[in-house]
Structures are given as structure tokens and as C-alpha cells.
Amino acid sequence: MPVQPRTPQGVLELLPSQQLAFQRMLDTIRRGFERFGFLPIETPAFELTDVLLTKSGGETEKQVYFVQSTGSLEAGKPPELALRFDLTVPLARYVAEHEAQLNFPFRRYQIQRVYRGERAQKGRFREFYQCDVDVIGKDTLSIAYDSELPALIHGIFVELAFGKFTICVNNRKLLRGLLDALGIETHDDVLHEIDRLRKIGRGKVEESVAAIVGAERAKALLDTLTSPWPGVAAELRAKGNATLTEGVDELERVHQGTLALGVPASQIQVDLSIVRGLDYYTGTVYETFLDEHPEYGSICSGGRYDNLAGHYTKSKLPGVGISIGVTRLLSQMLEAEKAAPAKRSIAQVGVVNFDPAFAAEYAAIARELRAAALNVDVYGGTAKPGKQLQYFDRGGIPLALILAKREHDAGVVKIKDLRAAEGTEHDVPRGELVARVRELLR
């Protein structure tokens, strides 16, 4: 009686053609990170429990997956290991542990899975990928790095081709300074409401802010936050609050720096209502939206923080980072593709095993194409040629090669283009095969 083969709830397991699409996404992201000189790191899936949970309050800990070997389980010991729930804590641990061997400012990227014991629901995953990129300084880190991340993200999203997108940038010093300047003391509560501006609109947000700080201040605050940049900068500077002015200066510099790195003005937008979490970020903050899919929320977020690894080292390690929510992007792409799944293949050429007498010739052809950096699938079995072609076509392989006695005697190979509905055929001289295949694949 076989066991029912099934995956746990809340994981995203892909069919090969989906996996290919995902792999191409990850490759594009990686290439984008590397273009700016970021170095790869990987950390173990599990960390020691006491190391992982230093800074957690209740919410994080509730979502942690603990790991135990059979022996430890039987002995009834508390779990020594736990799966990482993000890439930030492992980064902090990594930088603190290897501090002496790292080269600061340390540019690292990390593309790995993380684990959260979420209640299963649509769009929530228990295992999902994060793609994080950060620059970590020792003692100080120039604001110049804050301009690089939007430029890097811009390059990646242009290549990913999910449609038009806007990178929004703001500054937490500006926000806090502004609240101070308006005499508002309940920063976190007010910022929490501001954070919902994009979702629920000005009317509702102003109402909730008014409930905290009164109608007049609420209006003043929201008027300012929704004023267009850079016009509002002078007004903000005029308030004479040092933190606010510092925030305005930084924001201006980050915006200008990003433009200098080639991001079109239409795609990098200063948006004073971007808040991005409550505690962690201390300066620049980023969010990114697909213009045609605002309902996805921010698909790429991050910001500047004062000190990465205070739980692990006395060194002060300021940084700036950004993270791409790649599993969510993928699951939305797959959703969109449901009606008509795309065909994708690794092999570019399929060689039909038409007549086993020519097996050595098929091997020679495959060898030649592979030496020319083409990916080739040679059919091994002796199914009828029609079935073999069907196999290649179903696998999304664009070209099939046929060589039977007729072709052999004529010194040609037949290339069948499986992308065309009618399956166009070309007889190609054996010596021109690689060139013609390349041409057809172009």
C-alpha cells in the first residue's frame, strides 16, 4: 500500500517549466547584484537557538521552526537548533562572527530560503526565498551607498520585465523631525497610520491621525506628506528642526545620486508617506511598486539602519539594504500564467533516435552542438519518431534534428522547427549544422 506522495502545506513546489522561469528570475537578480560588486554569502538553514532568538519578542518566536535530531528528541531535550526566519539575523551573526576576515564596507548578497511556521493561507508561505543585498560599514557608512541600491534594483526590474515600476524613497529622520516640529510625541502610533496611506487613502488616514493628535495637526502633517517633492523641501528646512533638515539633506542627496547612476526620473520618486516598519530603519527607506499592480504592495523594500549586530558584537556596524520578495512575485506570475502555461526548456535541440544504426552519428552531432555551448537532448529509446517529436514539443524544445538513411546518404540533417504549428523543416548540410541551428535559435 503506497504512501500518498504530497508536500507539506505552505510550500511552493514548482513543475520543471515553472522552476526554469524562477531560476531565470534568480539568475537575473544575482547578475544585478554582482553588477554592483556585491559578494555572495550563504548561511546554514539552521542556527543555534540561543543565537537566532536573541532579539526576538513573542511574535517572531511563535513562528520559529525548531530542529531536533532523533537522539535529542528522545532525550526530551529543548531544541538546540532552529531554522532561520529571515536573512537579517543570519547576516548579523555572520558579520559579527567573521568580522576580522571581512573587508569593510562589506557588500554582500544572499539568496536563500527562510522558514516561518505561519498559519497556512493563500499567499503565505512556510518556506520561501528571500533575496537580500546590503552594504555594511564599520563605524560609519557613507550615504552614497543609499543611492546605489535603487539604481541596482532599477537594473534588475528592467530586466525582469514585470512591467512599469516605481521605486519610492523617503527618510525616517525627515519623518521623525517633522513630527517633532509639529509637536507630535506619539511617533510610532502616527507613523503606523501614515504607513497605510497608499492602501486606504488620505481621508481615512487623516481621520485616524486626528484621533491621536487632533484634526489641525493631522491636516498639517498630511498636507506636508502629500506635497510634491522637491517643492516641499524648502518648507521643511524652514521649520528649523535639525533632525528634519538632516533628513531632507540626505533624501535630496540619495535622490540626486540615484538619478546620476542612471535611474530615469519617472521611476524614482520621493514619497514622504513611505514609513517601512517601525524600529529597525533609521534613515533612508525604500519601497517599490508595480505601476499596473498596486495591489501587490511593495515588491522590494529596505532601508538604512544604524547598527546591524548589536546583539553579537560591540563594534558599530551601520548598513543599508534592500530585499526582493521573490516568492510572492513568482506566485503572482504563476497565477497570471494559469490559463496558458508557458513552455520553457533547457534543451534547445532534440535529436531524434530515428534509426539505432546511426546511434554513433547522433552522438557525434550532440557532441558537436554541445561543444558549441548548445543544450542538447538525445532521445534514448526506440519510440516511434512521431512520439519522440511529441516528447520534444511537449518539453518546449524548439528544434528537433532528424537523420535517417535518406539524410545520411545526402550528407544532410533535417531540422524540424517545433515552434511553428506546421513544423517547418530544413535540410541542412552536415557541415553547416551548428551555424544553422544557431541562426534558427536567434
Residues 361-390 that bind its own copies (CB under 8 A): 363-364, 366-367, 370, 373-378, 380-382
Q: What is the DSSP track for 410-423?
A: HTEEEEEETTSTT-
Residue 279 within binding range of its own copies, rule CB under 8 A = no
| Residue 24 grid coordinates | 531565470
| Amino acid identity for residue 377 in this structure | D
Binding residue for its own copies (CB under 8 A) from 198, 229, 282, 310? 310
CB of 250 to its own copies, least distance (A): 13
Binding residue for its own copies (CB under 8 A) from 77, 124, 144, 230? 144
Residue 6 within binding range of its own copies, rule CB under 8 A = yes
CB of 299 to its own copies, least distance (A): 21
Cα(112)–Cα(64) distance, rounded to whole angstroms? 17
C-alpha torsion 213→218→221→224, nearest 10 = -170
Binding to its own copies in span 385-424, by CB under 8 A = 391, 394-395, 397
| Residue 399 grid coordinates | 528544434
Binding mask 167-186 for its own copies (x = CB under 8 A): --------------------
Strands (E), 84-229: 106-115, 127-136, 165-171
CB of 436 to its own copies, least distance (A): 19
Residue 155 within binding range of its own copies, rule CB under 8 A = yes
Binding to its own copies in span 23-62, by CB under 8 A = 23, 34-48, 50-51, 54, 61-62
Residue 269 within binding range of its own copies, rule CB under 8 A = no
Binding residue for its own copies (CB under 8 A) from 260, 342, 420, 435? 260
* Residue 221 near residue 184 (C-beta atoms within 8 A): yes
Minimum CB distance to its own copies smaller for 205 or for 309: 309
Q: Which residue has the cell 535518406?
A: 406
Sign of CA pseudo-dihedral 249, 252, 254, 257: negative
Minimum CB distance to its own copies smaller for 42 or for 207: 42
Specify the stretch interacting with its own copies by CB under 8 A; choose among 73-81, 204-212, 241-249, 412-420: 73-81
Minimum CB distance to its own copies smaller for 357 or for 359: 359
Binding residue for its own copies (CB under 8 A) from 87, 133, 141, 428? 141
Minimum CB distance to its own copies smaller for 23 or for 186: 23
Residue 312 within binding range of its own copies, rule CB under 8 A = yes
Specify the stretch interacting with its own copies by CB under 8 A; choose among 7-15, 186-194, 292-300, 433-441: 7-15
Binding residue for its own copies (CB under 8 A) from 75, 279, 314, 340? 314
| Residue 133 grid coordinates | 543585498
Report the length, in residues, of the chain: 442
Specify the stretch interacting with its own copies by CB under 8 A; choose among 211-219, 223-231, 281-289, 345-353: 345-353
Angle ∠(56,59,61) on CA atoms, nearest 5: 55
Binding residue for its own copies (CB under 8 A) from 85, 127, 172, 276? 127
* Residue 110 near residue 91 (C-beta atoms within 8 A): yes
Q: Residues with Cβ < 8 Å from 152, sequence gap 6 or more?
A: 32, 33, 35, 36, 133, 322
Angle ∠(106,110,116) on CA atoms, nearest 5: 130
| Amino acid identity for residue 65 in this structure | Y
CB of 64 to its own copies, least distance (A): 6
Binding residue for its own copies (CB under 8 A) from 57, 77, 85, 93? 93
Q: Residues with Cβ < 8 Å from 223, sequence gap 6 or more?
A: none
Phi, psi of 257 (to 5 degrees): -60, -40
